Amino acid sequence: MAAMINFKINGKNIEAPAGTTVLEAARKEDIYIPTLCCLEALEPEGTCRLCIAEMSGAIRQSIRITCLQEVKEGLIVETETERIKKNRRLILELLLGRSPYSKELLDLAARNGVMTSRFLTGEQDDCIRCGRCVRVCRDKIGAYALCWVNRGYERKVTTDFERLSEYCIGCGSCAQVCPTGAIKMEDRGQERKLYTWGQVLARFKLEKCQECGRPFATKKYLEWMKQRAYKHKGLDVVDIKCPECVRKAERPVPLAVPLSQGPFQMW
Ligand code: SF4
């Protein structure tokens, strides 16, 4: 069992197991720390910088990212100082410059007192470089279809050699976790398309439901689901049915997972 660590957030005494991050400990205590890139299902990467806090005590006094900082005995964390609020507002303005119409981002900005941005250039591509899509594709799906290219302002998410991805399975998880809608998944007739502002990432022909005949999932995604069902639950899936038909039949087979919830239920 992990040793328990005692530290403070905003003056409140907190006890958390060693190895816990400050953000995790704060969430357990219902202490609000904003973040965009951090999802519980994904390993933290500290890309959005919104979860900053002033820290001292066990470490040199500095501003650090709470999603990457592990708790330490005697650590003192302050999440709402004027310095933190000012830096957070600047970060939100910069993010809004990239994605001025995202509801998740606008809500977060409003909650932190930011109603507009000085950095609206009209060159937005909606991507705030949080990396959720890259991480979910790599760490949860295991497809490695998305990657980063370039540095600084030119940094962006794309596919290998910026071509249609041969590794993408068309699961749509990247589009689901994107907080700004920068990656989109569109089904038209029998075709599924994954795309961003400037690039089509992948295209697929959709497989039809054996029951109702509706095109609903890619062949690669169904293969992926079958392998997961066999590996994790010992189930040999033979039915290819859309979520609606499975739901109607009320049979708990793995392909009952709605695509809108996608593979998350398997994690
Ligand atoms: S749709 Fe393709 S790129 Fe997006 S998470 Fe799934 S495999 Fe990765």
> Ligand 1 pocket check: which of 166, 168, 176, 227 to mutate, most ligand atoms within 8 Å of Cβ?
168
Closest among 34, 32, 29 to 107, alpha carbons compared: 34
- Supply the pLDDT for residue 258: 45
* 86-145 residue pLDDT tens: 999 999 999 999 999 999 999 999 999 999 999 998 888 999 999 999 999 999 999 999
The Cα 111–Cα 88 span in angstroms is: 11
Say if strands 76-78 and 147-149 run parallel, antiparallel, or are unpaired: unpaired
Domains of the chain: 4-80 (3.10.20.740), 132-266 (no CATH)
Q: Which residue has the higher pLDDT, 247 or 13?
A: 13
Residue 259 CA to ligand 1 center (angstroms) comes to 13
- Give the model's confidence band at 250: pLDDT under 50 very low, under 70 low, under 90 confident, else very high: low
- Supply the pLDDT for residue 72: 97
Alpha helices (runs of H) in 3-157, residue ranges in sequence order: 22-28, 82-98, 103-111, 132-135
Which helix H or strand E contains 208, and what residues bound it?
Answer: strand 200-208
Which protein residue has the closest C-alpha to ligand 1 atom 7?
168
Ligand 1 atom at shortest distance from the alpha carbon of 133:
5
- Supply the pLDDT for residue 108: 95
Report the amino acid identity of residue 159: T
Q: Is pLDDT above 60 for 222?
A: yes
> Ligand 1 pocket check: which of 133, 136, 137, 138 to mutate, most ligand atoms within 8 Å of Cβ?
137
Closest among 125, 201, 188 to 156, alpha carbons compared: 125
Which protein residue has the closest C-alpha to ligand 1 atom 4?
174
Ligand 1 atom at shortest distance from the alpha carbon of 143:
7
Mean pLDDT lowest among 71-75, 253-257, 263-267: 263-267
Share the mean pLDDT of the chain.
Answer: 91
Contact 194, 221 (CB under 8 A): no
Ligand 1 binding pocket includes 174 (Cβ within 6 Å): yes
- Supply the pLDDT for residue 121: 84
* 66-79 residue pLDDT tens: 999 999 999 999 99
Q: Is pLDDT above 50 for 192?
A: yes
- Supply the pLDDT for residue 209: 94
- Give the model's confidence band at 234: pLDDT under 50 very low, under 70 low, under 90 confident, else very high: confident
Ligand 1 binding pocket includes 259 (Cβ within 6 Å): no
Residue 133 CA to ligand 1 center (angstroms) comes to 8
Ligand 1 binding pocket includes 91 (Cβ within 6 Å): no
Ligand 1 binding pocket includes 170 (Cβ within 6 Å): yes
Ligand 1 binding pocket includes 169 (Cβ within 6 Å): yes
- Give the model's confidence band at 253: pLDDT under 50 very low, under 70 low, under 90 confident, else very high: low
Q: Which residue has the higher pLDDT, 253 or 240?
A: 240
Ligand 1 binding pocket includes 194 (Cβ within 6 Å): yes
Ligand 1 binding pocket includes 14 (Cβ within 6 Å): no
- Measured in degrees and rounded to the nearest 5, phi and psi for residue 63 equal -95, 125
Ligand 1 atom at shortest distance from the alpha carbon of 185:
1
* Joined tokens for residue 100: 């001025």
* 143-172 residue pLDDT tens: 999 999 999 989 999 999 999 999 999 999
Ligand 1 binding pocket includes 50 (Cβ within 6 Å): no
DSSP 83-109: HHHHHHHHHHHHHHHH-TT-HHHHHHH
Mean pLDDT lowest among 204-208, 210-214, 250-254: 250-254
Tell me the CA distances in angstroms from 264 to 78, 83, 169, 199, one per residue in order: 33, 37, 15, 26
CA 116 centroid distance within chain: 24
